[in-house]
Amino acid sequence: MTEPLLRRLHARGEQLTVGALPWVAPVYRAMPQVHEVIEFPFAHGGLQFKARRALARRIKGRFDTAYVLPNSLKSALLPLLAGIPKRVGYLGEARIGLLTHRLKNPAKGQRPPMVAFYSALSGETGLEADRPQLHMPADLVERSLAELGLRRGGFHVFAPGAEYGPAKRWPAQNFSAVAQELLLPVLLLGSGKESALCEEIAGAANARRPGVCINLAGKTSLIQALCAIAAAKSVVSNDSGLMHVAAAFGVPQVAIFGSSSPLHTPPLNTQASVVWLKNDTSYQPPLDCAPCFARECPLGHTRCLNDISAERVLQALRA
């Protein structure tokens, strides 16, 4: 979702270095407009002031401008410590003194889609048309497919996980039911944390149709996963990072939404079909609770996901 911002900055002549955590760094290396990627040595949570100060010393004097995309105080701290003269970001978490160019942070209910939210840091207009784009070199894709024993267009990809929490995950048995109806094999992609979930899906599907599902969760590099998505016939996923990857590659996809909203983080892809019961007028009783953006259903029923049938997703996929 940050790629359109980087494309805008690159188009006006800025040479871009991206600072990113190791797990997401390969995504930025797949963007041709990025000159360099610096992997941050920070763990999740905590200020980690010493580590930020040490990195700031190493990069001091190298940069003219910092675009601070996360809204946290600690994200704005590194550019200040590194003495970067122009520091652009949104107001929030007492960052007034840390940023030199501050954008007003819209209220949660008034925030635009995240792509436009990030692109606004460029100071330019016409953001509504921005769509993420990823391009993997053809030889890298073919090499990755060979390593995985795959051929381009010869498989579907399912990404059944969602790091945020269970209120964004469609039931495993429904993913299994869809896989059983497809002619081509299904690759299950995700992190190592999602391996058990994917094994549950593969086990149920393979019991009915042996070999239809291949569980690769936690068994691929991120580059291999990106290449598999780029070469897939289609992708089915929850609202997750891999959903946005599929959208950026322009792969036919079905995106399943539950507690979150496609008005906020849609798959910006002309070949995407969104399934969300909130905007289905035929679904009764209406989902007045959605979107709640909760990690777990506050009401305990998760109707927003549990009531989406496998048949409905299969129909969207075939369409």
DSSP class of 97: T
Q: Which of 110, 129, 148 finishes a domain?
A: 129
User: Based on the domain organization, do 149 and 275 belong to the same domain?
Assistant: yes
- Dihedral sign (CA 119, 120, 124, 128): positive
**Residue 310 confidence (pLDDT):** 98
For residues 309 and 178, what is the distance between their CA atoms, to the nearest angstrom?
9
Q: Which of 103, 129, 155 finishes a domain?
A: 129
User: Based on the domain organization, do 114 and 145 belong to the same domain?
Assistant: no
User: Based on the domain organization, do 118 and 241 belong to the same domain?
Assistant: no
User: Based on the domain organization, do 116 and 157 belong to the same domain?
Assistant: no
User: Based on the domain organization, do 270 and 146 belong to the same domain?
Assistant: yes
For residues 251 and 258, what is the distance between their CA atoms, to the nearest angstrom?
22
User: Based on the domain organization, do 88 and 198 belong to the same domain?
Assistant: no
User: Based on the domain organization, do 120 and 154 belong to the same domain?
Assistant: no
Which residue range is the domain that position 40 belongs to? Answer: 3-129
User: Based on the domain organization, do 77 and 7 belong to the same domain?
Assistant: yes
User: Based on the domain organization, do 36 and 156 belong to the same domain?
Assistant: no
Nearest-CA neighbor of 202 among 153, 144, 194, 26? 194
User: Based on the domain organization, do 158 and 120 belong to the same domain?
Assistant: no
CATH of residue 190: 3.40.50.2000
Per-residue pLDDT tens over the stretch 210-266:
999 999 999 999 999 999 999 999 999 999 999 999 999 999 999 999 999 999 899
Question: CA 208 → CA 6, 172, 309, distances in Å?
Answer: 46, 15, 19
- Answer whether 221's CB lies under 8 Å from 240's CB: no
- Return all residues near 236 (Cβ < 8 A) that are at least 6 apart: 156, 157, 158, 159, 175, 178, 253, 254, 256, 313, 317
- Answer whether 258's CB lies under 8 Å from 167's CB: yes
**Residue 106 confidence (pLDDT):** 87
The partner residues of 213 in beta bridges, in order of sequence, read 186
**Residue 152 confidence (pLDDT):** 97
| Total tally of structural domains belonging to the chain | 2
Count of beta carbons in the 10 Å neighbourhood of residue 159: 27
Tens digit of pLDDT at every position of the chain (319 positions) = 999 999 999 999 999 999 999 988 988 988 999 999 999 999 877 889 999 999 999 999 999 999 999 999 999 999 999 999 999 999 988 899 999 999 998 887 788 888 999 999 999 999 988 999 998 889 999 999 999 999 999 999 999 999 888 999 999 999 999 999 999 999 999 999 999 999 999 999 999 999 999 999 999 999 999 999 999 999 999 999 999 999 999 999 999 999 999 998 999 999 999 999 999 999 999 999 999 999 999 999 999 999 999 999 999 999 9
**Residue 128 confidence (pLDDT):** 84
Sheet strands (E) in the chain? 16-20, 34-39, 65-68, 86-90, 101-103, 156-159, 186-188, 213-215, 235-238, 253-256, 272-275
User: How many residues appear in the chain?
Assistant: 319
Q: Which of 111, 129, 147 finishes a domain?
A: 129
**Residue 113 confidence (pLDDT):** 87
User: Based on the domain organization, do 8 and 85 belong to the same domain?
Assistant: yes
Per-residue pLDDT tens over the stretch 269-290:
999 999 999 999 999 999 999 9
**Residue 220 confidence (pLDDT):** 95
User: Based on the domain organization, do 175 and 309 belong to the same domain?
Assistant: yes
